[in-house]
Structure 1
Amino acid sequence: MSRRRVRTRRAALGLAFTVAAVTALSGCSALGSDSSDGASNGGGNLEKPKIKVAILPTVDTAPLWLAQDAGYFKAEGLEVEAIVAASGQAAMTKAVSGETDISISSYMPFFVAKATGAADLQLVADATSVSPKSVAIVTVPNSPVKTVTDLGNKRIAMTAKNTASDLLAKSLMKDHGVDINKVTWVQMPFPNVGAALQSGQVDAALLPEPFLTQTAKTAGAIPVIDVNTGATQDFPLSGYGSTRKWVQANPKTLAAFQRALQKATSEMNKDRSKIEPLLVKYAKIDEDSAKLLGLPSFGVKLDPRRIQRVPDLMLQMGAITSPVDATQMIAPQTD
């Protein structure tokens, strides 16, 4: 592949995972449970001192959990109630419908909604990007797949068409000269991939953490290729969004949310030990797995140029049919 083509694909790449992983958490988490105390500082200055955030019980949500447990939201005069959603799409839908004020999702549903006119959304905070060993195409030792070039004509698991597990796998394979049109794509949720690999139902799958580590433990899954390489290196995975109407009506509330989340993210980036207990407590990941996870990169602020890789890839791969300017979707960012 020419350097020009690689650069084009790299500029276009960016997509996050619609994670369909609801674990033992119920519909309303423990976040924001200390409502009797109210806000400690400046709650009266916020348009909405009590907000609901649709979340996923995954690694991506760790900064929000830290901001809650460490009292950063409360220090901003903000009380946060977390509502667990079944997927990124479901989380975004909760914000669009008004059931929650903000949601975390893979970036893709936000851009699909914008491109199709289904909703006028804004991105309010960054969450994660790919980092080494955080996302990989995997197989099992007895699979016929040994290298990325073996993926042609094979059965590969994905969560759904035009999700990250679909588009990122296809993009990575294209970069290595694999004919994706000859692949049999098998739709299934991430938690089912291990059993499917063991039984031979599929030959390979693209998995993010924590499913990468969990499937290695339960099914002996081994990496075929790390996604954090070449054209797929460092691309955006997930972020927080809300409706433009909510953002415009609640600028002080949004700024308080952003400040608390940024503080927690900065702390986590300096000290991994702050993350692991949160994964055990909220994502229900066992302690051994929490120590082994290849963590994604946690973003402190939204970078328009980086986020633009998401809709560019989606347009290139046919997930959307019209261009979307990411800059126009990014809400004001607090310092």
Structure 2
Amino acid sequence: MKSAVAAVGVIAVSASLVAGCGSSSSKGASSSGGMTTVNVAYVPLGLFAPLYVAQKKGYFAANGIKVDLNKVTSGQDAIPLAASGKEDVVIGGFSAGLFSSINAGLDIKVVGSMNVADGSTTNAPSQIVVGKNSGITSVAQLKGKKIAVLAGPGGAGAFILGEILKSANLTIKDVTMVNLTSSDMPAAVASGSVDAAVASWPYTTQITSAGGTAIAVPPSGLASGGVVYGGSFAKNTKVATAFMHALQEASRDLQGDYRTNSALVADISAYTGQPVSSIKSAPYNVWEPTLAPLPQQLENMQNIWIAAGALSYSSPIESSKYVNTSFTG
């Protein structure tokens, strides 16, 4: 149960960070010249393109919002800041740390989803891939195998793995997860030090180019990240709703294969630093037009991370305690 202990440690650090933040003045949403400034922490990945398009196309401004964008390495890094009012919104991937923070009483609300899997085997940003000589051709054959996942048992990779394993009536307890960075996965799969990997593009392509095979993709509708509001910002109903409406407008612009739209690709490139050519050659992401939160998936996340030992509690937290669906209605 080392990972469960680690989760408790994360909360201790988060709590101390919140306490430290409390000693200085809170940024929070503020109004000036008829515009309300909203502080947004985001992970600069293409998965969160509605944020960039809404900013670039002026959808926030049209809703009376001036967005102050702040890059973070992971969404979890900014959760304590949102809870304390230092950030108003966090857009990033979800992890076991999010739920540990909620369980510890941090004041945050999950209000929206971001990219969702479409179940396509030809346009999958993430896949389970195996090596050339693994002999593995199906999910059922992963039982008892070592599988590389980014961020270990408490990361989004473990959640994706757990959902894929369900298709073969397996659980996360039927495999051994190995915590590897994405860049280390191709070599590990090729050498046989792991039997498979939950890898993302372009590492999936590196593995298959070396003779490996993709044996599974995330099920349709699966989402591993989203939009989190700080508790104080969520109470500012007018601005919080306007912010989400701007994101929804951008999400509608991104429906279908946006890679053919040079302006949208340029917007994504500007905020992620990813070259235009790379965006055009990568699998395209998919978003639900409304970006509605997905309470059932959030419960599934908890069940998988509980089974993996990444959460210290034994039953999922009820979604009514941390999910607010009113902003996307």
How far apart, in 1, do the equivalents of 2:162 and 2:325 lie? 31
Q: 2:58 aligns with which of 48, 59, 71?
A: 71
Percent of aligned pairs sharing the same letter: 25
Is 1:59 equivalent to 2:46 in the alignment? yes
CA distance in 2, matches of 1:258, 1:193: 36
Deviations 1:281-326 (A, max 9, x none): 332334443223333321333546x422321442365245233332
Alpha-carbon distance in structure 2 between the residues aligned to 1:235 and 1:244? 26
Q: Which whole-Å CA distance do the structure 1 matches of 2:273 and 2:224 have between them? A: 21
Aligned length: 283
- Residue 227 of structure 1 corresponds to 218
Contact 1:126 1:300 in 2 (8 A): no
Contact 2:139 2:215 in 1 (8 A): yes
Shift of 1:137: 0.8
TM-score (norm 1): 0.73
Using a 3 Å threshold, how does the CA distance of structure 1 residues 242 and 179 change in structure 2: closer, same or farther? Answer: closer
Aligned counterpart, 1:259: 245
Q: Deviations over 1:160-185 (max 9, x none)?
A: 21322113313422431457545332
What amino acid is the match of 1:186? V
Aligned counterparts of 1:163 and 1:57: Cα–Cα separation in 2: 18
Q: Larger deviation: 171-180 or 152-161?
A: 171-180
Matches within 5 A, 1:3-82: 44=33, 49-82=36-69
Deviation at 1:112, TM superposition (A): 3.6
The DSSP-based 3-state class of the residue aligned with 2:254 is helix
Residue 319 of structure 2 is aligned to residue 326 of structure 1: yes
The code of the aligned residue for 1:269 comes to: Q
**Aligned twin of 1:34:** none
How much is the aligned-residue C-alpha RMSD, in angstroms? 3.0
Deviations 1:132-167 (A, max 9, x none): 223321123344433323323322111221322113
Alpha carbons of 1:80 and 1:292: their partners in 2 closer, same or farther (altered >3 Å)? same
**Deviations for 1:80-104, whole angstroms, at most 9, x for unmatched residues?**
1221111221132332243321101
Residue 268 of structure 1 is matched in structure 2 by 254
Q: 2:288 maps to what in 1?
A: 299
Counterpart position of 1:193: 185
Aligned to 2:298: 310
Q: How does 1:212-251 map to 2 (within 5 A)?
A: 212-217=201-206, 220=209, 222-228=213-219, 233-248=220-235, 250-251=236-237
How much does 1:327 deviate?
Answer: 4.2
Consecutive unaligned residues of structure 2, counting only runs of 5 or more, are 1-29
Q: Describe the shift of the 1:141–1:97 C-alpha distance in structure 2 as closer, same or farther (beyond 3 A).
A: farther
Instruction: Quote the offset at 1:219 in angstroms.
Output: 6.9
- CA offsets 1:256-301 (integer angstroms, 9 cap, x no match): 2112111111111156125433343332334443223333321333
CA distance in 1, matches of 2:196, 2:105: 34
Equivalent residues of 1:43, 1:78 under 8 A apart: no
Q: Counterpart of 2:139?
A: 148
What CA distance in whole angstroms lies between the structure 1 residues aligned with 2:256 and 2:32?
29
Matches of 2:140 and 2:105, distance apart in 1? 38
What is the match of residue 84 of structure 1? 71
